[in-house]
């Protein structure tokens, strides 16, 4: 990809990510709820063949820096690798959310979710970045409700990663810096006052343990607009992540050495 095209993608992403703050600031009444959370996260993209792979994910999200439950979350998906830089994913996710904060839900409630995703990878020098576009169909059973409510949501994430080793490559035993911003937008007839759903800004230090495994520890600021449109959560979150991306494709074997006979 030419530099001008990369710059255009970066600019478009930056302009999109700058929108949530301005949307939130137009709300005439705003109540702030500051919370301290801790999230333990596991992500895996296992490559099964040249074209196909499996995504698995589990997250234990805790409020009050781990003292209480916030949300339990699991996700499963199928990956299709169109090219080394382009991956398509579709799958299912389940979340169980608990009451937390100064303006909590009346009780815990479940969510079933189907999603579709496009992931684009590229690099500028030693800076590696990804664009992630995700569309979600969500079924939530809110507290005291007998039936599920259907909601649509779209998400865009721009993530950067910079290896800190002398080669500038993400190799085993290499530390790195990672950062991303992701905006969430609700749409559809059941969305009332929170078209802007949330924004997540993240900064972390990581370590590439092996070709398949990496660890990250960082800070996430999650700005969430509740469904009533007036309460904005500022969730200050310590995030600890294990990434495991094995490659089960057959590896080419080296040719046998000649004996010189």
The full set of domain ranges for the chain reads 3-24+38-244
The answer to whether residue 233 scores a pLDDT higher than 50 is: yes
Query: What is the pTM assigned to this prediction?
Result: 0.85
Closest CA to 32 of 100, 103, 98: 103
Q: Which of 50-64, 97-111, 138-152, 240-254 has the lowest mean pLDDT?
A: 240-254
The answer to whether residue 60 scores a pLDDT higher than 60 is: yes
**pLDDT tens track for 152-211:** 999 999 999 999 988 888 999 999 999 999 999 999 999 988 999 999 999 999 999 999
Q: How many CB atoms lie within 10 A of CB 48?
A: 14
pLDDT of residue 255: 60
Higher-scoring residue by pLDDT: 242, 255:
242
Closest CA to 226 of 100, 111, 77, 67: 100
Higher-scoring residue by pLDDT: 5, 52:
52
Contact status, residue 51 vs residue 75, Cβ threshold 8 Å: no
pLDDT of residue 68: 96
- In angstroms, the CA 184 to CA 155 distance is 5
Mean pLDDT computed over 46-64: 97
Mean pLDDT computed over 66-74: 97
CATH number of the 3-24+38-244 domain: 2.40.160.40
pLDDT of residue 12: 52
- In angstroms, the CA 36 to CA 18 distance is 24
Confidence of residue 83 (pLDDT cuts 50, 70, 90): very high
If DSSP codes are grouped into helix, strand and coil, which group holds residue 246?
A: coil
Gyration radius (Cα) of the chain, Å: 21
- In angstroms, the CA 41 to CA 243 distance is 8
Q: Using the 8-state DSSP alphabet, how is residue 146 labeled?
A: S
Q: How many CA atoms lie within 13 A of 228 on its CB side?
A: 10
Encoding tokens for residue 238?
């310590």
Mean pLDDT computed over 149-153: 97
If DSSP codes are grouped into helix, strand and coil, which group holds residue 215?
A: strand
pLDDT of residue 239: 98
Contact status, residue 199 vs residue 20, Cβ threshold 8 Å: yes
- In angstroms, the CA 192 to CA 226 distance is 11
Q: Give kind and range of the element (H or E) at residue 149.
A: strand 149-163
Q: How many CB atoms lie within 10 A of CB 1?
A: 12
pLDDT of residue 9: 52
For residue 197, give every residue at least 6 positions away whose Cβ sits within 8 Å of its Cβ, in sequence order, or none.
153, 184, 185, 186, 224, 225
């Amino acid at each position: 990809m030419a530099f001008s095209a990369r710059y255009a993608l970066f600019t478009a992403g930056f302009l999109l990510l700058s929108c949530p703050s301005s949307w939130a600031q137009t709300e005439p009444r705003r109540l702030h709820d500051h919370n301290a959370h801790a999230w333990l996260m596991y992500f895996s993209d296992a490559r099964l063949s040249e074209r196909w792979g499996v995504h698995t994910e589990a997250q234990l999200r805790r409020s009050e820096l781990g003292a209480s439950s916030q949300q339990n979350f699991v996700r499963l998906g199928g990956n299709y690798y169109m090219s080394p830089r382009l991956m398509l994913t579709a799958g299912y996710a389940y979340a169980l959310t608990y009451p937390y904060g100064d303006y909590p839900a009346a009780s815990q409630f479940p969510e079933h979710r189907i999603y579709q995703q496009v992931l684009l990878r590229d690099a500028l020098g030693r800076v590696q970045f990804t664009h992630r576009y995700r569309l979600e169909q969500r079924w939530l059973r809110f507290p005291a409700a007998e039936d599920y409510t259907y909601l649509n949501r779209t998400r865009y994430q721009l993530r950067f990663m910079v290896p800190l080793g002398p080669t500038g490559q993400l190799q085993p035993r290499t530390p790195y810096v990672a950062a991303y911003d992701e905006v969430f937008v609700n749409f559809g007839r059941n969305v009332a006052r929170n078209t802007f759903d949330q924004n997540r800004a993240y900064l972390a230090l990581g370590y590439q343990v092996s070709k398949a495994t990496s660890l990250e520890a960082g800070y996430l600021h999650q700005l969430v607009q509740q469904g009533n449109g007036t309460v904005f959560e500022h969730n200050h979150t310590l995030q600890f992540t294990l990434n495991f991306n094995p490659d089960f494709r057959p590896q080419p074997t080296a040719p046998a050495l000649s004996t010189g006979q």
